[in-house]
Amino acid sequence: MTARLKINYNSIVPPGGAKKYFALGIAFLILSVAVGLIVISSLQSDLPSLAQLHNIQPSLITKVYDRNGELLKEFYQERRILVSFNEIPPYLIDCLLATEDRRFYSHWGIDLKRIFGATASNILKMDLTAEGASTITQQLARKLFLTPEKNYIRKIKEALTAIKIENTYSKNEILQLYLNQNYFGRGAYGIQAAAQTYFAKDARDLTLSDCALLIGLLKAPNRYSRTPVLQWYPDAGRSALVHPSRPVP
């Protein structure tokens, strides 16, 4: 004979308790949504307009030639040469996604799973800014339209702007903007200028080790671009760059 376990729910939840907790939960949810909508509404004026999103104009090099077509001088605030997505080697995309945003092609501007994981980790470390969870799109939003300061208002603006960017551009277009915008150290802005500065070649000709090294620079371009490993072994790759004390074969 099979014994049946009977549970007296009245001993677990007091009379009327379930309804009270349900009502409190609904009230909290409504309050959270209302507060969220108020915050989003108050920040809308600080977000980029559709016109700004459709007209992103990175700073480029101005070149002056003589009458014979010889280059005389270059003028620039940021040494940047734009390249199309088709000129970016697949190795570079793979290295970027592996280090910065593994779920780039599946999220919609923000990665909720990554946010929850980073939040839990930061709570355990008792430092709410210790670990970030910004996607590639959020990083692009910050570089194009926001400031690098660390606070919750800026993070909310960053997330909202990232969603607007995702609604405006395709995933490949976002990667193209990101790699043309970022600073790689030694005065090189964008992947084409970086390829020329570090390897004297075009971006489309970068090897796997070249790509790994250049993506490794993004975390701290000013510091990493001055490491002895980078100067002595330009083809050593990311592992040597991140671990400058490690001997290179």
**Predicted confidence pLDDT, tens digits, the chain (249 residues):** 555 655 554 554 555 566 666 666 676 667 666 655 555 555 666 778 767 787 777 777 777 777 777 777 776 678 899 999 999 999 999 999 999 999 999 999 999 888 888 777 777 776 656 566 789 999 999 999 888 777 778 888 899 999 999 999 999 999 999 999 999 998 999 999 999 999 999 999 999 999 999 999 998 898 887 765 455 444 444 444 444 333 333
Q: Is residue 74 part of a domain?
A: no
pTM, full prediction: 0.72
Is residue 204 domain-resident? no
The amino acid at 160: L
Helix H or strand E encompassing 80: strand 79-80
In a domain, 229, yes or no: no
Distance CA 183, CA 92 (A): 15
Classify residue 246 by burial, with Cβ atoms within 10 Å: 0-12, 13-18, 19+.
Answer: exposed
Which 3 state secondary structure label does DSSP give 135?
coil
Per-residue tokens: 95: 């290295």
Task: State how far the Cα of 112 lies from the Cα of 89, in Å rounded to an integer.
Answer: 29
Q: Is residue 17 part of a domain?
A: no
- The CATH number covering residue 115 comes to 1.10.3810.10
Q: Which domain holds residue 126?
A: 88-181
Number of structural domains in the chain: 1
Q: How many CB atoms lie within 10 A of CB 207?
A: 14
- Give domain status of residue 242, yes or no: no
Q: For CA atoms 52, 54, 58, 60, give the dihedral sign.
A: negative
Whether 138 contacts 158, CB under 8 Å = yes
In a domain, 169, yes or no: yes
